Amino acid sequence: MGRTARRCRAAALLLAAAVTVAACGDDAPDPAANRSPNPPTSTSTTPFTGTTIEPGEVVRVDNLDGARLQQVRDGIVRSFETSVEVTEFGTADRLGSGDAAYQAEGDATLLVFSMTTDRTDREDSNEPDADVVAAVAVDDKQRELPDFSATESEADGEQTNYVVAVPKNRRSVTLDLKYNGVVQSFDLLEGKPTGERPDALYRPDSGTVVYQEGLTPSQFDVQVSSQTYTNTVTVRRAELGYFPAVGHEMPSAPDKAWLSMRVGMDASGTTCSAPLTAYTFTDADGTAYQPAQSTSQVSEPSLLDTPDAVVAFEVPADLEKGTLTMTAPHVTCQVSTATYEEVPASGTVTVDVTLPAS
């Protein structure tokens, strides 16, 4: 065989081998051919084991995990001897975890807020005619805060947290303090106080009243038979507030307040009491005020106890200075055991009052 023939045969063998390899490759499986265009995804979720809150329902909680909170700049809301400060507010899709978790029913949203509560310990406090009620109002439908009491002073200053479920189409959500027809509110959607706010309630830096103690005493004389006796008049406390120290009558306007003074008379030889008409309060501008008719007075003083009268005047809420005067031609004194008579009196009692500035 010549050289040319051998070359042709070798080329033919190489071509046949290539065709065989190609044919074997066509029979091999293609991984891409069996791959699903949309691979399956896991649809398993952790079941909710907590509490579902119905719209309008309010719950006190300890765990705020999951809440989106904002700080509040002015969160003070006040009522009778009670001051609440909202410190934070916000929303949550789900609050807490596990069995202690909370979610809202349906398409409602969780609204969360934190607050502290302080009670004013007023000396010889006026007995309330009802409890201060704290409630959340969702579109005017109110639910009282659970575990809230305006009389539990041991919890003063402690932060408490609440969550309320609010409907998707809600118009207003407020925290309300209510007492004797007076409602004070905080807007839980806007994070600020709302509604009418009496000046006297928000004048103090803390508490619900401004006051002065340790006022300088004054004296007047009485004539019993042939004896002259001196009575020392002491204002034990002068306080200005929106709610009166005696009774439950509200001031006539939001810019008015009650100036209440607890007046005691310490006698030398006999104890006496002056009629309500004997008292006048004059402010620094010279405006004179007469006592309210609801003022409590002592009509028959006892030798066994120092007689006190609460004398109250309706004054401007921003009042700072003035003078209490007491003068009368006759007062009631005890002339013998269980015997009271009107006797002549002389002298003018003057007690200067200075309250903390607004």
Q: Please provide the average confidence, as pLDDT, over all residues in the chain.
A: 84
pLDDT value at position 309? Answer: 82
Is residue 93 within 8 Å of 65, Cβ to Cβ? no
Largest CA distance in the chain: 173
3-class state of residue 208 by DSSP: coil
3-class state of residue 344 by DSSP: strand
Does residue 7 carry a pLDDT above 60?
no
pLDDT tens, position by position, 156-207? 678 999 999 999 889 999 999 999 999 999 999 999 999 999 999 999 999 9
Fold of the 51-197 domain: Immunoglobulin-like (2.60.40)
273: which residues sit within 8 A by CB, 6+ positions away? 265, 297, 298, 299, 300, 301, 307, 309, 331, 332
Does residue 16 carry a pLDDT above 80?
no
Q: Is the dihedral of CA 151, 156, 162, 166 positive or negative?
A: positive
User: Residue ranges of the domains in the chain?
Assistant: 51-197, 209-354
Cα 276 to Cα 292: distance, rounded to the nearest angstrom: 9
Q: State pTM to two decimals.
A: 0.80
Burial (0-12, 13-18, 19+ Cβ within 10 Å), 266: middle
Tell me, yes or no, if the two domains 51-197 and 209-354 fold the same way: yes
Instruction: Report, at the CATH architecture level, how domain 209-354 is classified.
Output: Sandwich (2.60)
pLDDT tens, position by position, 37-89? 555 554 446 788 999 999 999 999 999 999 999 999 999 999 999 999 999 99
3-class state of residue 83 by DSSP: strand
Is residue 113 within 8 Å of 146, Cβ to Cβ? no
66: which residues sit within 8 A by CB, 6+ positions away? 92, 93, 94, 95, 96, 97
Phi/psi for 12 (5° steps) reads -65, -40
pLDDT tens, position by position, 267-304? 777 888 888 889 999 999 999 999 986 566 555 554 44
Is residue 288 within 8 Å of 280, Cβ to Cβ? yes
265 closest CA partner among 215, 306, 229, 298: 306
